[in-house]
Amino acid sequence: MDIKHIGVVGAGQMGNGIAHVMALAGYDVLLNDINGEALEAAIARIDKNIERQVSKGAVSVLEKAEAMARISTTVTLTDLGPCDLIIEAATEREEIKHQIFATLLPHLAEHTILTSNTSSISITRLAAKTDRPERFMGFHFMNPVPLMQLVELIRGIATDQPTYDACLAVVERLNKTAASAEDFPAFIVNRILMPMINEAVYTLYEGVGSVHSIDQSLKLGANHPMGPLELADFIGLDTCLAIMNVLHDGLADTKYRPCPLLTKYVEAGWLGRKTKRGFYDYRGDVPVPTR
């Protein structure tokens, strides 16, 4: 099918990034959030991020103006019903995702494809509670969306080939690269990445190294652009913990047991950059390790 109109649910970090790249690629985007202020902040962020691309010569002034004009917003979820493709990018809680799709279902066009940007939750399970499991799949962007090249496309057990092909065509139009993943807990990237981050937290928990020495070791010893604890703060410690719990519950293997220290940080509300404290304290001019 020819996808022209895209609905995005959630105006947070992932949702505004998805709206950003879709608009630049020529799609009409309807961005939804329950919070009107969040929508205003998302538009301001998109404008700022595209302006950064303009300053680097990657996007022209005209292309920016055209992209911004393609984005509209709404606090009414059901307004997304007529869209050709809907990408749910709400918080990583399964019950909330089910509620979103249940609200949308009576208002969807016959041809609408439903997708989720979930980083770990079963696509088959999400799809099974809709009226179109064959037109449902995982559409997992990496963070930050405008900069990261990869998109994971995850088929549920019922996803049909035309749906996959339509989503693949969107990825290609974005000039990104698709990785096809099977519907198992955390898919490919987070199945590998999150246990590494969890092991880094265990290394800290057991006193093998400090926050600084662990991150420095991976950056200089394994050529990682960002240390695992710094990366965890960037992702959000609550998201890291949620994905580890999905892995632990879904695969029933003790190697995926979340580190108690990760749980403790989340209980304290120290979730990383978004709350100004995590494995680093971001309240000053320079991030300072908290352990």
172 carries an active-site annotation: no
Q: Which of 88, 140, 198, 230 is catalytic?
A: 140
Whether the full predicted model's pTM is greater than 0.85, yes or no, is yes
Tokens of 11: 């105006």
Domains of the chain with bracketed CATH: 5-182 (3.40.50.720), 191-289 (1.10.1040.10)
- The whole-number pLDDT of residue 192 equals 97
Distance of CA 50 to the CA centre of its chain: 19
CB contact set of 133 (below 8 Å; sequence gap of 6+): 124, 127, 156, 157, 158, 159
Q: Which residues are annotated as a binding site for NAD(+)?
A: 10-15, 33, 92, 97, 119, 143, 274
198 carries an active-site annotation: no
CB contact set of 263 (below 8 Å; sequence gap of 6+): 241
Torsion on CA atoms 56, 59, 61, 66, rounded to nearest 10: -150
- The whole-number pLDDT of residue 92 equals 86
Residue 60 has pLDDT above 80, yes or no: yes
- The whole-number pLDDT of residue 1 equals 76
- pLDDT band at 91; cut points 50, 70, 90: confident
Q: Which of 16, 117, 119, 122 is catalytic?
A: 119
Concatenated DSSP letters for 12-53?
SHHHHHHHHHHHHTT-EEEEE-S-HHHHHHHHHHHHHHHHHH
140 carries an active-site annotation: yes
- The whole-number pLDDT of residue 201 equals 98
Average pLDDT of the chain, as a whole number? 97
What is the spatial distance between Cα 243 and Cα 139, in angstroms, rounded to a whole number?
16
* Bridge partner list, 31: 8, 73
223 carries an active-site annotation: no
Q: What is the mean pLDDT of residues 107-135?
A: 96
Give the CA distances from residue 201 to residues 238, 248, 249, 275, in Å, rounded to whole numbers and listed in that order.
Answer: 14, 16, 19, 19
Q: What is the mean pLDDT of residues 194-206?
A: 98
